[in-house]
Amino acid sequence: MTEKIEFPELKNDVFLKACKGEDVPYVPIWIMRQAGRYLPEFKSVRADVDFFSVCRTPELACKVTLQPLDRFPLDAAIIFSDILVVPQAMGLEVQMIPGKGPHFPNPVKEISDLSRVKYPVNVNEELGYVFDALTLTRKNLQGRVPLIGFSGAPWTLMTYCIEGGGGSNMATSKGWLYKHPKEAHEFLSKITRVCIDYLLGQIKAGAQALQIFDSWSNELSPALFKEFCLPYLVQIGKELKAAHPEIPLICFAKGSNFALEDLSKSGAYDVLGLDWTIEPSVARQMVGDRVSLQGNLDPCVLYCGDQVIREETEKMLKSFGTKRYIANLGHGMHPTHPIEGPESFVKAVHEISENMIKNN
């Protein structure tokens, strides 16, 4: 057993309080993809270093994680990495093609290709660089805000491994679910095991909350979601909760609105993330007060000026209410967003919600 690492005392715990449903002075906010190409200082780091080298160099991963916090008074940091480091740890090559996104030169096209997938995986050996980045970042944050770790969800990772990248309609991987359900479950189980070990390692390294991104769950029907997503999402949440009940867990099953009730009743997650395809008050009705909610401003609002951003933020806050709620976009920042967008958004969330709470 290694010793527990000592970290600076946390100064802003508003995000962690909202995760647990405790009273807050204002609604906390962080933004998916808050570190990224809309920031000139990120682009200048990326000008010299390729994407996965940034992820693999703790000093650089730490530097870009902190960049958005130096600009905006965000209430949480999210470690700079990518969900596709897990397929890499399982022996699959992943490249990041500028302007196109992730690319697997040798995807898992056929059942026979599964023999190329490495399992079991020693996460300390394969993903120790992420743990080092987390520890360094948690130290350098000096307790300003909590640090979020993350992983892709098993279905989203499997679909990337099979399709070889984004941009398809997931036909091959969805085909597997109907044609090869047994092999699909075996592959999903293996990915789940690696994700759990990886997330446990992230907690040990300093992550103070974790988000599971099921970015492609919206491709699945309710029946397929129930069979191929839900059990693995619940397994991840339950195993992490059993080991670390103090760490808030966020599940973002993008667009799978029908699953909100089941996920909220599973007891596996503290927070459910939402995209913009659901009215906040409807989501709240589905989940009751069992979980906190996170989201869900349409990222395209951030192309507008301060006034429209304020109006849309106010509508969102009025529909969610200020309890058990974390403000965020419904998906990540776009590389083409103007820098003023997130600035107005963060300010509006803080000011409007503080007033709502004061006048309540």
Question: Which residues form the interface with ligand CP3 (CB under 6 A)?
Answer: 32-37, 46, 51, 78, 80, 82-84, 96, 98, 101-102, 150, 166, 213, 215, 332
Q: From the CB of 70, what's the least distance to ligand CP3, in Å?
A: 14
Tokens for 140? 């350098």
* Helix, strand, coil % in the chain, rounded to nearest 5: 50, 10, 35
Whether 46 is catalytic is: yes
Task: Decide: helix, strand or coil at residue 246.
Answer: coil
Given the residues 26, 38, 75, 82, select the one marked as catalytic. Answer: 82
Cα dihedral across residues 203, 209, 211, 212: positive or negative: positive
CB 287 within 8 A of CB 264: yes
Q: From the CB of 149, what's the least distance to ligand CP3, in Å?
A: 10
- For residue 330, what is the DSSP state? S
Given the residues 13, 26, 38, 46, select the one marked as catalytic. Answer: 46
Q: What's the CA gap between 328 and 346, in Å, rounded? A: 9
Given the residues 37, 290, 298, 306, select the one marked as catalytic. Answer: 37
Which residues, in sequence order, are bridge partners of residue 297? 329
Q: From the CB of 28, what's the least distance to ligand CP3, in Å?
A: 16
Whether 37 is catalytic is: yes
Backbone angles phi, psi at 251, to 5 degrees: -115, 120
* Residue 145: C-alpha distances to residues 66, 137, 150, 273 (Å): 11, 11, 16, 20
Whether 33 is catalytic is: yes
Question: 104 or 213: whose CB is closer to ligand CP3?
Answer: 213
The DSSP line for 273-289 is: E--TTS-HHHHHHHHTT
Question: 205 or 352: whose CB is closer to ligand CP3?
Answer: 205
Task: Decide: helix, strand or coil at residue 198.
Answer: helix
Question: 77 or 352: whose CB is closer to ligand CP3?
Answer: 77
Q: From the CB of 96, what's the least distance to ligand CP3, in Å?
A: 6
Strand pairing report for 95-97 and 101-103:
antiparallel
Question: 34 or 235: whose CB is closer to ligand CP3?
Answer: 34
Q: What's the CA gap between 139 and 104, in Å, rounded? A: 34
Of 202, 190, 186, the closest CA to residue 240 belongs to 202
Segment (H or E) for 346: helix 340-358
Tokens for 191? 């990915």
Question: 237 or 330: whose CB is closer to ligand CP3?
Answer: 330
Of 68, 252, 63, the closest CA to residue 155 belongs to 252
| Amino acid, res. 304 | C
Using Cβ positions, the residue closest to ligand CP3 within the complex turns out to be 215
Question: 81 or 264: whose CB is closer to ligand CP3?
Answer: 81
Given the residues 33, 290, 298, 306, select the one marked as catalytic. Answer: 33
Q: ∠ at Cα 172 (170, 177), nearest 5°?
A: 90
Place of tokens 């940091």: 77
Q: From the CB of 311, what's the least distance to ligand CP3, in Å?
A: 26
Q: From the CB of 105, what's the least distance to ligand CP3, in Å?
A: 16
Given the residues 56, 138, 144, 160, select the one marked as catalytic. Answer: 160
Question: 293 or 352: whose CB is closer to ligand CP3?
Answer: 293
Q: From the CB of 81, what's the least distance to ligand CP3, in Å?
A: 6
Positions annotated as catalytic residues are 33, 37, 46, 82, 160
